[in-house]
Structure 1
């Protein structure tokens, strides 16, 4: 005769699991009541062992063929391993047994969302709202579904509804922060989290997301305060330490940032990203040997971390070891070949090594990837100018202006090139354009071609603009 259990403690669950595993070893058939089977299934599910969980469900359905819960759990397990056809088949059987069971529609809606069948997903999730006890989960899944669909406004609406029912749903808090970020409504995000904190001042997740919202708006001091509250509530909150470190970096407080980054090691194993961030701080402090050590630690943990390879290159470049730096810049490109910063660094190193043709190609790649990089355009055109290829320099600067028509530095540089090429009328017309945009920056022209300071025509035009401002 089977001993009766009240299931609720880990010890009692283990007794059921041990008895089940004994049955398997003995190749026998023992009877378990429905509660015992549920407990065993949950044990294997929590251990992330879907094969054993499904095996238990098979026994449970054989012994309790009219218990809907086992078909629902079967669908959940199949869905977790992306076997959607089997999951939907299990839900169809469950619906025949108990059509009012809300979890059937909740799981089916979640599956349809994963499959991209958004209309069917919404229909099922809204059915679940009428019958499910856990309405906050349904609202949360509706929020997720609209995120996947790309309708972030509706996602915000449903995630808020989930949180109105259950303020402790940390996943909903994180997802809501993500949605606000995507739609660029950080101010609204700040208002929401402030109000949330008024009701639940000990929510470290809310403080953390408030900090992130401040961070994205460049309000770094306020972000640091919010991260500090999150850390005060949850001392081992490594992500809050890391983001606080990032905020300190944005305030150029590199030594403090290093200390904060290193505190994450007390609560989680060192990561490549953290080592890389520390390396960047030492780089900004011009402690290049130490910076390089941390970048090397980063690539040792993650050989594909492009920023760490790039950082090693930067430290070598700083020490005028340009040839060596190129190796590491190219290594960074292996993992992120569309990064304009990497191409810019290569172009600059090539230029310093006198490899002008390779430098031109690299600069061309920079402005192709990031046509708003003014410094790149200026440096790119300078190569042609220094080689006395004035026409190519002029064409390059004209293209730069086409991409950035409001940047006075580009016009002043073009004026210099036009004068150097003897195109005086075009130069004076371009000077008018430059002065109209920003007359205060006319010194750029003389910095590049000092001899133009003696040109009375240019001086008179500049003085005319200065007198009118």
Structure 2
């Protein structure tokens, strides 16, 4: 029996009912009602890490990252092995610019996550934000070397770091070695790296695969102008 299933089976019936109601509301996009239901679940069963994680996720889904931190911290503190609990805590600390606070929960996530590149890349991003560039790159390089289920996500993070360091040619190489390239964020990052490396025609091809990215249209226009000026 999985750890999550054990948590749910041991929960008081009223708490489980509130949690299940919250999950149904969350899945239908009714986030304020989901928050209320999850808050009731943790009130009834405050020792249940899954309920705290769900409450944090409902806050974060609605863009309220500050409110998500306390429930994610509860979840991570109660059970640091619970999938995503410590990772989400670290990412939400990062989202509200509390970069130093993000380090410890992300290190816990790195310790326990079976696919480690996501947490390690997030550690690299937090270290970069703290100005610890050498350590940040070491983490990011290690993350992409893992080539696990979060390979594409890790490569986007490393590419962003390299571009900010003025090394777009290296960014392109990191992205070109992705196991399974795909997704709007990946292709936009590829287009931006290629653009900064003065590879405008290739940048346009990459950006065609990110039609809905909010910044893609502007970058396409800039790439076309640069290409026409050559």
TM-score for the superposition, normalised by structure 2:
0.77
Shift of 1:295: 2.3
Structure 1 alignment gaps of length 5 or more: 1-45, 47-158, 390-469
Residue 379 of structure 1: aligned partner: 219
Q: SS of the residue aligned with 2:144?
A: helix
The structure having more radius of gyration, on CA atoms, is 1
Does the 8 Å contact 1:292/1:311 carry over to 2? no
Give the deviation of 1:216 after TM superposition.
1.4
Which residue of 2 is the match for residue 436 of structure 1?
none
Q: Which has the higher contact order (CA 8 A, sep 6+)?
A: 2
Deviations 1:152-211 (A, max 9, x none): xxxxxxx9xx99973575xx7776554332200121111112223333333333222222
Give the distance between the partners of 1:303 and 1:385, measured in 2 at CA: 38
Provide the secondary structure at the position in 2 that maps to 1:329: helix
Matched residue, 1:89: none
What residue in structure 2 maps to residue 325 of structure 1? Answer: 171
Question: Is the Cα–Cα contact under 8 Å of residues 173 and 205 in structure 1 kept in the other structure?
Answer: no
**3-state DSSP class of the match of 1:362?**
helix
Asked if 1:349 corresponds to 2:230, the answer is no
Contact 1:326 1:346 in 2 (8 A): yes
Q: Distance in 2 between matches of 1:352 and 1:265?
A: 32
**2-structure distance, mates of 1:268, 1:307:** 15
CA distance change for structure 1 residues 163 and 272 in 2, over 3 Å: closer, same or farther? same
User: Per the alignment, in what secondary structure is the counterpart of residue 46 of structure 2?
Assistant: coil
2:100 aligns to what? 255
Q: 1:342 to 1:269 in 2, by over 3 A?
A: closer
Tell me, in whole angstroms, the C-alpha distance in 1 between the residues paired with 2:20 and 2:228. 56
Q: CA 1:183/1:241 → structure 2, altered by over 3 Å: closer, same or farther?
A: same
CA distance in 1, matches of 2:115, 2:219: 39
Q: Are the structure 2 counterparts of residues 190 and 351 from structure 1 closer, same or farther at C-alpha, using a change threshold of 3 Å? A: closer
Q: How does 1:16-27 map to 2 (within 5 A)?
A: none
Q: Distance in 2 between matches of 1:324 and 1:165?
A: 54
Structure 2: stretches of 5+ with no match in the other structure: 2-7
Q: 1:244 to 1:355 in 2, by over 3 A?
A: closer
Query: 3-state DSSP class of the match of 1:335?
Result: coil
Distance 2:51 2:112 in 1: 20
With structure 1 as the length reference, what TM-score do the two structures score?
Answer: 0.41
Residues 335-375 of structure 1: CA deviation (Å, up to 9, x unaligned): 132x22222232233333332222222233332xx1x52x3
